[in-house]
Amino acid sequence: MNSARLLYSILNVIIILLLIAIGLGVFFFVMILLGVKQEFLFIYEGVISFKTEAMLYVYTILRLGVYAVFIKALWNLRKATKLLLKKDFYNNQLINVLSISGKLMVITGVSAWCINGISDMFFKFQFSIGLTEKTLAYLFIIAIGLFLLLMSTVLKDTKAIKDENDLTI
């Protein structure tokens, strides 16, 4: 169970770092909208790089939504790891949390992949077909989500078998 404890600690650190990064991102986004120069951070993006200001808002809101769903998925995975530390593998709550986390991971991967493709077409005026590093990362997130769904199904089936065996004894 040392690996579960390590996973729990890593998930805590990842969630904290993501929340800090999102907070800084929102801060710099507001500073760009207010027209404050960001040259000391080597950020040369501005509202002008988007066709309209509305596109900037929509893109930012969509990206923040994806990050929120991803943090929720990690939070549920953290809950599942906490339940695994108690060594109760036949718990309905563990099965539900793994299932929800898996679904949220799949939603995160697919939506981030779509948003990235759409933003490349509209903002960078390029359309790429092939595997990039970002695409592989999105596919990996989807694979993790599908694995969590599989584990949820396996645990649900083993719980049903265990309950049936407990009734026959």
Grade residue 47 by pLDDT with cuts at 50, 70 and 90. Answer: very low
**Which residues contact residue 43 at a Cβ distance below 8 angstroms, ignoring those fewer than 6 apart?**
28, 32
Mean local confidence (pLDDT), 36-45: 59
Which has the minimum average pLDDT: 29-33, 40-44, 117-121, 142-146? 40-44
pLDDT tens digit sequence for 109-133:
999 988 888 877 776 666 666 677 8
At 2 the pLDDT is 83
* Residue 116 to residue 153: CA distance in whole angstroms: 31
Token representation of residue 97: 């949390």
* Residue 63 to residue 50: CA distance in whole angstroms: 15
Is the pLDDT confidence value at 66 over 50?
A: yes
* Residue 129 to residue 159: CA distance in whole angstroms: 44
Q: Comparing 108 with 61, which gets the higher pLDDT? A: 108
CB 85 within 8 A of CB 4: yes
CA-CA-CA-CA dihedral for 126, 128, 133, 135, to nearest 10: 110
* Residue 96 to residue 107: CA distance in whole angstroms: 16
Buried b (16+ CB within 10 A) or exposed e, 2-36: eebeebbeebeeebeeeeeeeeeeeeebeebeeee
pLDDT tens digit sequence for 74-104:
999 999 998 888 888 888 999 999 999 999 9
